[in-house]
Structure 1
Amino acid sequence: MYTKFSISLVLLALSVSLLARAQSAPQGGGDFSDNPQPRKLPREAILVKGAWWTASDSVTALPEGGRMANNVYANPYFGLAYTLSPDWTEKYTGPPPSDSGYYVLAQIRPAETFKGTSRGTILIAAQDLFFTLTPAGNTLELINNTKDNLNAEYKVEQPPTLVRIAKHSFVRFEYVSPVAELHWHVLATQIRCHMVQFVFTSRDTKLLESLIQEMNKMSLPEEAGPISGRGGDGVPVCIKDYASGENIMERVDPVFAERRFNPVPVRIIIDKEGNVKHVHFLSAFPDQAKAITDALFQWRFRPYLRDGKPVEVETGIMFGRAPRRPTSSAAEAVNE
C-alpha cells in the first residue's frame, strides 16, 4: 500500500509536469557518430539535440532571463523583483519555454538552513497569451479555465478571487489533494500579455499564507493586473496577431534548407517606424531561426499609433505547424 508521503510526491511531480509541458534541453547530445572525441557529459544533465530558445540580440530582456541572486528573484523583462527570506533558494534552473509559450521561471524550495517544521515549494511560471492552447484572452480567464478543468482528484478550496498584493491586482485560486493532503495556492497577474503566476505548495496552510504575505514586498510594473498587463509605459505595447492583414506593408517569406514539422513560436518587437528591431524564438532549430530572422528583418509594418503618436509594438507569429490542444480523450489517458 502506498504511503501518504509517496502519493504526495507523485501528485506534486504530476502537477508540475502538467503545468510546464516543457521540452528537453537540446545541446549537442549523445550521438557520437560525428564526434569521435565527445566531451564528458556534465553530472545531473541530459543533453539532447533539438529546438531551443534564441534571440536576435543579447541586450533585449527576455521572459526567461530572470535570475535568483542574494535572495531576490529579479526579471527585467517583466519588471518584477521578488524578495524571499534567506531560508529559500533555487537549486536548479527551469527548462526552456515550451512551444505553446509556457515558462518555468524559477523553482524555489527551502534551503539547508531552513528551520521550519513544514516544507513547501514556490513555482514562478509564465504563460504567453499569444501562444496558449487554452481559449482565454487574459489571466483571469486562464485561471477560471484551470478551475473548470481541475482533475477530479483535486478539490477547490477557494475559487478564483481578485485580491490585492503589493498594491496590484491578482487572481487567487486554491485547491487541495485530499489524498496527499497537499495544498496549492495560486496567485496570478498579467504583464506584457503573459500570465505570471506564483504557485505555492505545502501541507501547511499557515506556511503558505506567510509566503503569500511576503509577496507584498514585491515590486511590479504599473500595468500588472489579471485583465490588463498589455505593455506600454516604457515597454512595447503588446497586441495579439498584429502581424496580419493590412498591418503588414512588406513581407518576405523565410527560405528553409530543410523541411521540418515543429511549431516555431516567435515574438517580435516592431519599432516606431514599422521595422522589426528584435526577434525572440521560444523554440526553433538553429537553421530555422536564421532563415526566419533573415526574413523578418525585411518585413515592414504599418506604425501603430497610440494617442496619435507611433509606439513600439510586441506581437507573436507562429511559423510551421501550430501545436494542437489535447483532446479530452488524450487528457484522460494522461491522467490515467
Structure 2
Amino acid sequence: MQTTLSRCFVLLGLSVSLLARAQGTPQSGGDFANNPEAHKLPSETILVKGAWSSASDSETPVPEGGRVANKVFLNQYFGLTYTLSPDWTERYTGPPPSDNGYYVLAQIRPADTFKGTSRGIILITAQDLFFTPAGNALELMNFTKDKLNADYKVEQPPALVRIGNHSFVRLDYVSPVAELHWHALATQIRCHMVQFVFTSRDTKLMESLIQEMGRMTLPVEAGPISGRGGGEVPVCIKDYAQGENVLERIDPLTAERRFNPVPVRIIIDKEGKVKHVHFLSAFPDQAKAITDSLFQWRFRPYLRDGKRVEVETGIMFGRAPRQPTSSSAEAVNE
C-alpha cells in the first residue's frame, strides 16, 4: 500500500513539474525563443546536397538543361523546341536525373487563365538508353506496356505514328478507377528515349494537344529506332568505353567509400581524348575523382565513312542499379 502511494506522489509531483514547465514556456517555443540572434533557414533551398547531376564544363549542353521561356520549351542538347499551347504553363522545374538515367525535362499544366472544363498535364521526360536493357525507344515502350500495373488497361498498344514531319511510337492506357487517360508518344534522340506524356480525363483535349506537336522542331535523325547522333553532334554508341576501344585507363581514387551508382556520359574527341564529362548522379568528391581519372583515359578514335568523328558513350561507376529481368527484346517481338 505504501509503495503504491509513493508511486502516486512521484507521478503527481512529476505531473505538476511538467505542467509548470509547460506554462512557463513562451508560446513561440523552439530555439528562437532563447536565441534572438538565430537566423531562419532559407526556404526552397537544399543546404546539403547528396548525389547530384554535374558536368566538367558549363558550355556543353546537357539533357537537363532545357527551359521554358516566352511560352517555348527549348532544349539545346536534344535540339528540341516545343511551343506551349495557349493558357498552358510550367510552374515547377523537374528533379535532378535519377541514377538509372531518367529525366523529367518539363512539367506543363494549365495556367490560371485556362477556361476549359477539364484539366490535364503534359510531362516531357527522357530515359538514357545507355543505362537500360532496351536497345531503342520502340523496345522500351513495349517493355513499358508489358510492365503496366494491373490497375491500368491498355487502350492502344505501341504503334508507329507520324505527327508533322516526325515519327513517334504511341502507347495509350487508362485507369478505369480514376477515369484518367494517358497518351505517351516517344522518339529517340542521341540514344535517349524522349517522351511526351499527356494525362487527362478529357481525351479530346489530349488529342488536340497531340496534334499541336506537329509544330515542334526535332533533329532530322530522330525516330523510334534511330536517333543515334551524328552530324553536328557526336555519334552515340552504347558500351564504347570497353575492350579494345580503351587504350589507356586510370581508375579513380576516392577517399570515402560509397555504394551508390554513378552513371556518367562522356564525349570523346576525334583524337581519342575525353573532352566532356556529364554526371547524372554523383557526390561532389566522386565527380572530382572520376573527372580527373577520365581526362587521362585514351580511346581508339572512331571512324565513320573513313573519317574520325566524336563519340558519346556511357560508363557506370560504383554499384549499378538493379535492372529488370525481363527482356525488352522479347516485348518488341510480340
TM-score (norm 2): 0.84
Q: How far does residue 80 in structure 1 lie from its aligned partner after superposition? A: 0.6
- Matched residue, 1:198: 196
Distance change >3 Å, CA 258–CA 39, structure 1 → 2: farther
Which residues of structure 2 form unaligned runs of 5+? 1-36, 327-334
Distance change >3 Å, CA 304–CA 198, structure 1 → 2: same
Mapping 1:184-195, distance limit 5 Å: 184-195=182-193
- Matched residue, 1:74: 74
Match of 1:299 among 297, 300, 305: 297
Give CA deviations for 1:77-123 in whole Å, capped at 9, x if unaligned: 00010001231111000000000000000011000010111100000
Match of 2:312 among 295, 305, 314: 314
Q: How far does residue 148 in structure 1 lie from its aligned partner after superposition? A: 1.0
Matched AA of 1:159:
P
Contact 1:110 1:119 in 2 (8 A): yes
Q: How far does residue 41 in structure 1 lie from its aligned partner after superposition? A: 2.6
Give CA deviations for 1:203-224 in whole Å, capped at 9, x if unaligned: 0000000000000000000110
SS of structure 2 residue aligned to 1:153: coil
Matched AA of 1:61:
P
Q: How far does residue 166 in structure 1 lie from its aligned partner after superposition? A: 2.7
SS of structure 2 residue aligned to 1:99: coil
Q: How far does residue 165 in structure 1 lie from its aligned partner after superposition? A: 1.6
Distance change >3 Å, CA 81–CA 313, structure 1 → 2: same
Task: Tell me which structure has the larger Cα radius of gyration.
Answer: 2
Extract structure 1 runs of 4+ deviating beyond 3 A: 36-39, 45-49
Q: How far does residue 37 in structure 1 lie from its aligned partner after superposition? A: 6.9
- Matched residue, 2:124: 124
Q: What is the rounded CA distance, in whole Å, between the counterparts of 1:122 and 1:232 in structure 2? A: 29
CA RMSD between the two structures: 1.6
Q: How far does residue 48 in structure 1 lie from its aligned partner after superposition? A: 5.1
- Matched residue, 2:214: 216
- Matched residue, 1:245: 243
Give CA deviations for 1:214-268 in whole Å, capped at 9, x if unaligned: 0000000011000000000110000000000000111111111111111000000
- Matched residue, 2:49: 49
Q: How far does residue 174 in structure 1 lie from its aligned partner after superposition? A: 0.2
Q: How far does residue 76 in structure 1 lie from its aligned partner after superposition? A: 0.2
SS of structure 2 residue aligned to 1:281: strand
Q: What is the rounded CA distance, in whole Å, between the counterparts of 1:218 and 1:118 in structure 2? A: 24
- Matched residue, 1:229: 227
Matched AA of 1:62:
V
- Matched residue, 2:41: 40
Aligned residues: 290
Contact 1:166 1:219 in 2 (8 A): no
Contact 2:263 2:314 in 1 (8 A): yes
SS of structure 1 residue aligned to 2:233: coil
SS of structure 1 residue aligned to 2:291: helix
Contact 1:93 1:106 in 2 (8 A): yes
Q: How far does residue 146 in structure 1 lie from its aligned partner after superposition? A: 0.8
Contact 1:174 1:186 in 2 (8 A): yes
SS of structure 2 residue aligned to 1:293: helix
- Matched residue, 1:29: none
Q: What is the rounded CA distance, in whole Å, between the counterparts of 1:48 and 1:277 in structure 2? A: 29
Q: What is the rounded CA distance, in whole Å, between the counterparts of 1:244 and 1:102 in structure 2? A: 23
Distance change >3 Å, CA 37–CA 246, structure 1 → 2: farther
Contact 1:61 1:76 in 2 (8 A): yes
Q: What is the rounded CA distance, in whole Å, between the counterparts of 1:115 and 1:173 in structure 2? A: 28
Give CA deviations for 1:48-99 in whole Å, capped at 9, x if unaligned: 5310000000000000000001111010000010001231111000000000
Q: What is the rounded CA distance, in whole Å, between the counterparts of 1:281 and 1:121 in structure 2? A: 29
Matched AA of 2:105:
L
Q: How far does residue 39 in structure 1 lie from its aligned partner after superposition? A: 6.2
- Matched residue, 1:257: 255
Contact 2:175 2:181 in 1 (8 A): yes
SS of structure 1 residue aligned to 2:130: coil
Q: What is the rounded CA distance, in whole Å, between the counterparts of 1:233 and 1:166 in structure 2? A: 22
Matched AA of 2:102:
Y
Distance change >3 Å, CA 96–CA 217, structure 1 → 2: same
Matched AA of 2:42:
L
Contact 2:85 2:209 in 1 (8 A): no
Matched AA of 1:113:
T
Which residues of structure 1 form unaligned runs of 5+? 1-35, 329-336
Q: What is the rounded CA distance, in whole Å, between the counterparts of 2:229 and 2:218 in structure 1? A: 13
SS of structure 2 residue aligned to 1:188: strand
